[in-house]
Amino acid sequence: MLRQLTVRNFALVEALDLAFAPGLTVITGESGAGKSILLNALELVLGARAASTAIRPGATACEVTAEFDLDAHPAARDYLEDQALADPADAGQCLVRRVAGQGRSRAFINGTPVNLAALQSLCNPLIEVHGQHAHRSLLDRTVQLALIDDYAAAADLAASVREAFRAWRAGCAELEDARERARAAEQRLDLLRYQVAELRDLAPAEGEVEELETRRRRLAAAGEIRSTVGAHASELEDALIARLSRMSADLDGIDDSHPALSASREHMRGAQVEAEEALGEMRDYFDAVPEDAAALAEVDRRLDAIHDIARKHRVPAGDLPAHATAIETELSALAADGERVDAIAEAVETAAAAYRDLAGRLSARRTAAAAGFAADIGAVLAELRLEGAALETAFTPAENERGLESVEYRVTTNPKYPPAPLAAVASGGELTRIALAIEVVAAQRSALPCLVLDEADIGLGGTTADILGRMLRRLARHTQVICVTHAPQVAALGDAHLLVRKTPDQDTVIVPLEDEERIEELSRMLAGRRITAETRAYARTLLDGVRAPG
């Protein structure tokens, strides 16, 4: 419920602090006193667009703060928790503040800046404002369906249907996007499959090109290499090693232990060993470089094959192994995309089934509630002196976020004529009363914490106004009702009474009234400025009549 409303520099209001209680609160005042200012301020804090006229003349900004008691509204508390906006000291309290001025506005929930979407998401389920022209919105089939959902206590189920539909449609969009990518990738897939097969057949190894080119150079020069190595090996064996052997033997024959001679002998023997080892390595190399035309041809064929594929793929021959890995990875990814299409398609089917299951349950709730909804509205219309008026609901198949049907309210105000759409048959006054009856009936079963009515009694008077007042008082037993009224019969039935008046400086103020003050205000409403003892007595009678059954 709305617990407190604080207004600063809004329109003709300099400062206003209003406390609200459960039950029915009535707001009265002379024409032009500014009763609509309160509702306009409330709509601003609920997320309405801020008009330049909202700022009090001479001020640079206006501010409206509303305090809500959320103890009986777990959905709102959950929303605050999910958005990290809850008051850590009191999760059941919520302060919503709106500041507008200098071409921009700011919004806050429990002191945290938020956008208007967050403000509306929190506040829309908390307060319904039924303005003088609310019947216009009632012509919208979306609104008509939502009111049936309220009556059927199916608003939460309708929200689940909406979420399920959006999830399904989001999945459909994702599936179409995946299929489009898959179609676009099909040609690429064919190319990649061919390239992967080609490279797997070739099977290039890391470093293979460098190794083959080294081997090719060796085989191509094998004749020259063997000639050179063979000649030097023979010379090494026949000349140098034999000579070193003789020199070593001659030095060993000298009978002297001089250190220098001993060192020379060691070096000579080492040189002979090194020369013999060099000869062995040269012979091994000679044997490793055969003159093999067939081997050379095979190396040339392998290199040619590698270079041909490298040119086709437009990469250096040495990069072919890495390239092969890359296109295999791409092929796997594209193939996985194809599998992903199947997975998304399966998820979409699941989402569609979930939506249709929820929507089917919602349809059953709506269908079951429709007759009672129409009957209750007919009863309220009869109370409001629209005897013979009746409403029926006409469902037509649909499939959207609101479920599997749309609805059209059809009414008749004369039994001689068949039911027709609201806009076609109802006069302005009738439509206003029909809209009010529908709103009241829907609110009786909904989880709506607060209903604000702006001059809902327009065109009503006497007994009919009294009936409306008692109807609102019954509704206020479980929904906080705030009603701006011109009818003393309605005003007398309020649990609390607020008076809107202008100061000598033409500022708007709102004050709560006690019993004697209420009698004076009701007398004014009954007789205008010429208040008499009789009007005061009648006003007192109206207040005493509050205790009468109704």
Is 358 a member of any domain?
no
Q: What is the CATH number of the domain that holds 501?
A: 3.40.50.300
Nearest residue to 200 (alpha-carbon basis) of 325, 317, 332: 325
3-state secondary structure 212-251: HHHHHHHHHCHHHHHHHHHHHHHHHHHHHHHHHHHHHHHH
Looking at the structure, do residues 283 and 191 belong to the same domain, yes or no?
A: yes
Looking at the structure, do residues 188 and 328 belong to the same domain, yes or no?
A: yes
Is 389 a member of any domain?
no
Looking at the structure, do residues 233 and 322 belong to the same domain, yes or no?
A: yes
How far apart, in whole angstroms, are the C-alpha atoms of residue 457 and residue 469? 9
Buried b (16+ CB within 10 A) or exposed e, 408-430: bbbbbbeeeeebeebeebbeeeb
Is 293 a member of any domain?
yes
Strands 104-109 and 112-114: antiparallel
Looking at the structure, do residues 118 and 252 belong to the same domain, yes or no?
A: no
Is 425 a member of any domain?
no
Is 413 a member of any domain?
no
Looking at the structure, do residues 193 and 328 belong to the same domain, yes or no?
A: yes
The pair of three-digit structure tokens given for residue 516, joined into one six-digit string: 């004697």
Nearest residue to 465 (alpha-carbon basis) of 385, 408, 521, 523: 385
Looking at the structure, do residues 299 and 202 belong to the same domain, yes or no?
A: yes
Alpha-helical regions (H) of 384-457? 422-425, 428-445
Looking at the structure, do residues 110 and 248 belong to the same domain, yes or no?
A: no
Q: What is the pLDDT of residue 359?
A: 96
Which of 318, 335, 352 marks a domain boundary?
A: 335
The pair of three-digit structure tokens given for residue 28, joined into one six-digit string: 């009265």
Which of 286, 308, 335 marks a domain boundary?
A: 335
Residues with Cβ within 8 Å of 112's Cβ and at least 6 positions away in sequence, in order, are 84, 85
How far apart, in whole angstroms, are the C-alpha atoms of residue 439 and residue 380? 11
Residue 129's SS3 state is strand
The pair of three-digit structure tokens given for residue 506, joined into one six-digit string: 């033409």
Residue 500's SS3 state is strand
Torsions phi, psi of 84, nearest 5?
Answer: 55, 40
- Give the chain's radius of gyration (CA, Å): 47
How far apart, in whole angstroms, are the C-alpha atoms of residue 6 and residue 69? 15
Q: Which DSSP helix (H) or strand (E) runs through 112?
A: strand 112-114
Torsions phi, psi of 283, nearest 5?
Answer: -70, -40
Looking at the structure, do residues 108 and 213 belong to the same domain, yes or no?
A: no
By residue range, what is the domain housing residue 210? 184-335
Looking at the structure, do residues 59 and 200 belong to the same domain, yes or no?
A: no
Q: Which residue has the tokens 């050379």?
A: 296
* CB of 189 closer than 8 Å to CB of 182: no
Residues with Cβ within 8 Å of 104's Cβ and at least 6 positions away in sequence, in order, are none
Looking at the structure, do residues 106 and 219 belong to the same domain, yes or no?
A: no
Is 362 a member of any domain?
no
- In the chain, the number of structural domains is 2
Q: Which DSSP helix (H) or strand (E) runs through 12?
A: none
Per-position pLDDT tens, the chain of length 550: 899 999 999 888 888 888 998 999 999 888 777 777 888 888 888 888 877 778 888 888 999 999 999 887 887 888 898 889 988 888 888 999 999 887 788 999 999 999 988 888 888 878 877 765 555 667 778 888 988 998 888 888 998 999 999 999 999 999 998 888 777 766 677 777 788 888 888 888 888 888 888 877 777 667 677 778 777 878 777 777 777 788 888 888 888 888 888 888 888 888 888 888 888 888 888 877 777 677 778 878 888 888 888 888 888 888 888 888 888 887 777 766 667 788 899 999 999 999 999 999 999 999 999 999 999 999 888 888 887 888 999 999 999 999 999 999 998 887 788 888 887 765 666 777 787 788 788 877 766 678 888 877 666 667 778 888 888 888 888 888 999 888 888 899 999 999 988 888 778 888 899 988 999 898 988 887 778 888 888 888 888 877 555 4
Is 269 a member of any domain?
yes
Q: Which DSSP helix (H) or strand (E) runs through 66?
A: strand 62-69
Which of 335, 370, 395 marks a domain boundary?
A: 335
Looking at the structure, do residues 222 and 317 belong to the same domain, yes or no?
A: yes
Q: What is the DSSP letter of 545?
A: G
How far apart, in whole angstroms, are the C-alpha atoms of residue 499 and residue 63? 22
CA 343 vs CA 171, 175, 337, 347: distances in Å: 11, 9, 10, 6
How far apart, in whole angstroms, are the C-alpha atoms of residue 368 and residue 353? 22
Q: What is the pLDDT of residue 171?
A: 94
3-state helix, strand, coil in the chain (%, to 5): 60, 20, 25
Residues with Cβ within 8 Å of 266's Cβ and at least 6 positions away in sequence, in order, are none
Q: Which amino acid is at 229?
A: V
Looking at the structure, do residues 207 and 305 belong to the same domain, yes or no?
A: yes
- CB burial of residue 2 (10 Å; 0-12, 13-18, 19+): buried
Buried b (16+ CB within 10 A) or exposed e, 71-102: eebeebbebbeeeebbeeeeeebbbbbbbbbe
Is 439 a member of any domain?
no
Nearest residue to 492 (alpha-carbon basis) of 459, 533, 525, 464: 525
